[in-house]
Structures are given as structure tokens and as C-alpha cells.
Amino acid sequence: MTTPIPQNFVQTIAKQRAVTDAELETVFMALDGQSTATIATKLGISDIAVRKRLGEVYKKFQIGGNGPGKLSELRHQLLFSYHTEQEAIDFSPRGKGSLFKMAIGRRQEDWGQAPDVSVFYGRTEELTTLKQWIVSDNCRLVALLGLAGSGKTILSVQLAKQVQNEFDFVIWRSLRSAPAPSDFLTNLIEIFSNPQKPDVPLDLNGKISRLVEYLRKQRCLLILDDFEAILRPEELAGHYREGCEGYRDLIVRLCEVNHNSCVVLVSSEEPTELALLAGEKVRSLKPVISEEIAREIFQEKGLSAQDREWKILLSRYGGNLLALKIVATTIHEFFEGNVLKFLEATALFIEEHISNLLAQQFERMSSSEQEISYSLAIAQSPISLATLREQMLVNSSLSDLLKNLDSLGRRSLIEKISEGGETVFMLQPLIVKYVTDRLIDRIRSEVLETVKTQGIERMRLLKTHNLSISIARKADKKARNHSILELVKNRLQVLFAKTTGFEEPLNILTKVASNLEDKSILEVGYARENLMQIISEIQC
């Protein structure tokens, strides 16, 4: 190589950045001054493959831009790291400025699978707040919480880039694959002890203690993304999966023990212990989408909208950054860039990718949380605790209901607001749409089973939920569109028209409803009332 950096040093640095052997071989040849064509010939691959390998290396070293300048920047980074490594370091007490310079000179970064943030929208106030918490207030843990698609991960990467010079180590990790706590801790200990082979304790508690030692000696920024993956699904929010309970011990220790580092926890679900640990050194933030961010997303697509149109867009899609990006693309490609045409042609638009994300969120709920979400979707407006409890026939104490509402809040699925002097609850707009579609499908299936069996034995939601309690929202009439009963009717009309026609199924439903006339609500719930309402809607 033309650069006087030992290959073994480059190999060590490259391994820390997760550079593959093939990428490393290619970058060695590029640093030697060999052209893309020459490298391609020697390796027996195409020019495109060579550029792709180099591009991956640049990404892993956080090098942006275009052209040959990226290779020069890579060489500069390697030289700087190597020369810094060779310098003697004075560990005697010094002022903050000297410590800051030492941190820059010795900083090690491991970004794992962190996404690219070449495009970033707004978030000025949130970044200012987070930097204040992390740099000035020396918080030990900061949690970024919110619904999938709200931009938490991108915000965490942008935040790390802006504060990285304050730290000796920057480590970004995704927990999506739910690694065992012991393996995860071993990996962190090896990173801190590099290049020396560490003496890793065998037990989990010993590993946590060793990690805390490193976090005291060095100032580290540790970002843990996809934290919800290690939490248990189909139960109340915030409890750990079997085999992942060690993460709770880790989080508690990192929050309670004095050290100089900061953990940024990124999750769509809040661990239960955070509420108890919250305080001066442990804080949480839920990113929100402002009109400013929405405008930036639309401007990137060459779109503009009137103030009233922005209000409707934000009320429909709330704080979901991904949804706004998809909507902007849809308007650009299918509505000639006309926002008003899109709003007039659609109610609340959910593309398949967003639907899959929402499905994952819904499937994580406990059965009791799902029941509550159906009730909130049926209401189509904020609903009080008393009304919610009155309408639900599922046996549940007030204490259990409050626990479920708290759990839904931990999942960032509901909003709690004050209205008319009382606290009311409502689902996030996108969740309302998803839950409504799911509810209608289940109601349709239950009606068909009722027609088929001429009984209510297989009924569930038709018994437990009153479909006629929908309350029309005052704002955004296009978004609310129809009541649940109307939507069920539309779905059944299409089905009956294609099969038996209306007369026979309506006669069967009428007969079943008549047989329920003398039954108490404790026996059949809302079954008779709902059947009569559905019959009435279809006959209209």
C-alpha cells in the first residue's frame, strides 16, 4: 500500500466495522492505488461489484459524498487512527477540554447494522433535548419510544452522529434477533477490551459488573435498537421473553449504578422497569411528526399542500414518518402531485408494508388488549373509562382494565387526553384503520357462521361488542367515512350478491335473532341487538 499503515492494523479496524474479507481485500487494492478495472480483472468480478464492495466499506466507515474523495477520506481516517494509537496517552487528571480531545483521538465506533441517514427530516427540538440530556445532564439511559414507523431508529443514528465526539466508544446494536443476554454481554466486553483477549466472567452478573467497569473507565454511547424484540408478545407490555430476563438485570444496573456512559434504548414497547427507574438520570422521549417534517417530506417529492390539507394529513397519519413517506410517493406517482385529489379519493390509506408493521404490533397484544382496541375502534372517537367499561361485556375488573390501558400506552397504541373535564382514550389513527379492517373481517366471518349453523355458538365479537355505539368524529369527515355497521353491511352485501342473494341469509339471521328475544344480556351479550342492526342496515 502507498499508505504507511500496517495491514494488521487495518484488519483490526475493519473487523470492528464488520467489513467482510472480500470487502477488505478490495479496499487494500484500492488503497494501493489500483483502478477499479484492474481490481475487477485481478479478482475476476465486474466493475460494478468492485464499486459495490467499496461502497459498503465507505458506509461502514460513515463516509458520504461521491467520487474519489471517499477513498481519500478513508485513507485519512485510517492514518489518523493509526497515529493516535501510537501516541502515548497521559491519564493524569486534566480539564474537560483535554478529556474531550483525548476522546476524539481514541474514539472507537461500531455501528453494526445501523441504517444510513443521508436523508434526515427536521427533529431540531428533539435533537436539542436529547443532546442536553446526554451531554450536559449525563443521563445514564434515554429511551426513544413510539409506534413502528415513527422514525425512532433514524433519530437514534442522527443523534449518535451529533454527539459521538463526546464519547470514547460509540456502539450501535439491534436486538431484532433477540440474542441471549450472556452472548450479548460477551460481545460488548470483547469490543471494549480489543485488541487484548478479555477474561470474560462465566456468570451473567459477573458480565454485567465487568461491563459497568468499562462504562466507568471509558465514556461510551451504547444504542440498543429494536428492544421490543426481547419482550414477550401476547401478554401485557414490557415483560421479557423466556431466556431474555437477563436484559432486565442489565438495564436496572445501568440505570442505578454510577458511570460516565449513556444507553439509548429504542423500542416500540416500554419495559415495565423504566417507569420505576425514571428520574434525573433516566428519561424517555416519544418522537412526534410536526407539520415542518411533513412539509420537508412532501417538498422532497416536489409536492405542496394547503393548510387545511396539512391538517387532514396529520390527523390521519399522526406521527408515522413511514406512512407520510409512502403517501407522498403515492401522490407523486398516481395523483399527478395533487394532494387534494388524493384526500378526496381516499379515506385513510394503508400500504401493504405499513399494514404488515401494524399487524406485528397488533399480534403482540394480549387478548384483553385486543378486545379493548376493538371497542375503541367501534367508538370512532375518544371514549371515557366509564363508557368503555360499560360497553365491554368481557369480564374484567377496573384494576385489570387500567392495567390493559397502561399496557396499550406502553406500546404507543393509544392516546390519553383530557376532554370536557374527564380523561378519554383513543387509538392512534393508523391503528384505528387497521383494527377496524380486522374487526370487520371477523364480524363478517361470524355472520357467515351464524347463517351456516343457524346458531350463535361460534360468535365472539358479536356477543361482546356493541356495534351501534359509533360516535361520529367532528373533524375530518372523509377519514371516519362510515360506522362499523355500514362497513359490515357493505362487506356482506358484496358477498351475498355473489353467492346466495340476500333473501335466504336475511331470513336465517332474522330467525336466529328472534330465538334470542327472551335471552338475557348475560347469556347472549349483544348478539341479538347486533344481528337486528345488521339486518336493518342490509335492508335499507
pLDDT at 354: 77
Lowest-confidence region among 39-48, 71-80, 111-120, 328-337: 71-80
Type of residue found at 117: V
pLDDT at 172: 93
Report the relative pairing of strands 383-384 and 141-145 from DSSP bridges.
Answer: unpaired
Q: pLDDT (tens digit, 9 = 90+) per residue, 236-288?
A: 999 999 999 999 999 999 999 999 899 999 999 999 999 889 888 999 998 87
Q: Considering the entire predicted model, what is its pTM?
A: 0.70
- The pLDDT of 434-441, averaged and rounded, is 90
- The pLDDT of 439-448, averaged and rounded, is 92
pLDDT at 99: 34
In angstroms, what CA-CA distances link 410 with 28, 389, 536? 48, 20, 40
Please give the mean pLDDT across all residues of the chain. Answer: 83
Tell me the C-alpha distance between 538 and 505, whole Å: 11
Residue 533 — φ and ψ, nearest 5°?
-65, -40
Task: Look at residue 350 and tell me whether its pLDDT is greater than 90.
Answer: no
Tell me the C-alpha distance between 73 and 501, whole Å: 72
- Closest CA relative to residue 259, chosen from 316, 214, 309: 214
In angstroms, what CA-CA distances link 159 with 124, 133, 172, 266, 282? 11, 12, 12, 12, 17
The overall longest dimension of the chain from CA atoms, in Å, is: 93
Task: Look at residue 196 and tell me whether its pLDDT is greater than 90.
Answer: no
Length of the chain: 540
SS3 144: strand
What the block records as the C-alpha cell of 457 is 355458538
Type of residue found at 21: D
pLDDT at 313: 85
What the block records as the C-alpha cell of 173 is 446494536
Task: Look at residue 171 and tell me whether its pLDDT is greater than 60.
Answer: yes
Percent of the chain surpassing pLDDT 70: 87
Residue 175 — φ and ψ, nearest 5°?
-100, 20
What the block records as the C-alpha cell of 386 is 366509564
CA dihedral 78, 81, 86, 88 (to 10 degrees): 170
pLDDT at 516: 92
Task: Look at residue 530 and tell me whether its pLDDT is greater than 50.
Answer: yes
SS3 143: strand
pLDDT at 114: 86
| Local confidence band at 86 (pLDDT 50, 70, 90 cut-offs) | low
pLDDT at 264: 97
pLDDT at 52: 87
pLDDT at 84: 59
| End-to-end CA gap in the chain | 82
Residue with cell 395523483: 335
Q: Which residues contact 25 (CB under 8 A, 6 or more apart)?
A: 43
Higher pLDDT, 329 or 80: 329
- The pLDDT of 313-341, averaged and rounded, is 84
Q: Which residues contact 34 (CB under 8 A, 6 or more apart)?
A: 42
User: Cα angle at 498 between 497 and 500, to 5 degrees?
Assistant: 70
Q: pLDDT (tens digit, 9 = 90+) per residue, 455-488?
A: 999 899 999 898 876 544 433 444 344 578 888 8
In angstroms, what CA-CA distances link 270 with 55, 239, 273, 286, 317? 36, 9, 8, 11, 22
| Cβ pair 138, 281 in contact under 8 A | yes
Higher pLDDT, 74 or 98: 74
**Cβ-count burial of 277 within 10 angstroms (0-12 exposed, 13-18 middle, 19+ buried)?**
middle
Task: Look at residue 540 and tell me whether its pLDDT is greater than 90.
Answer: no
Residue 183 half-sphere exposure toward CB, CA atoms < 13 A:
7
Residue with cell 355458538: 457
Tell me the C-alpha distance between 140 and 216, whole Å: 11
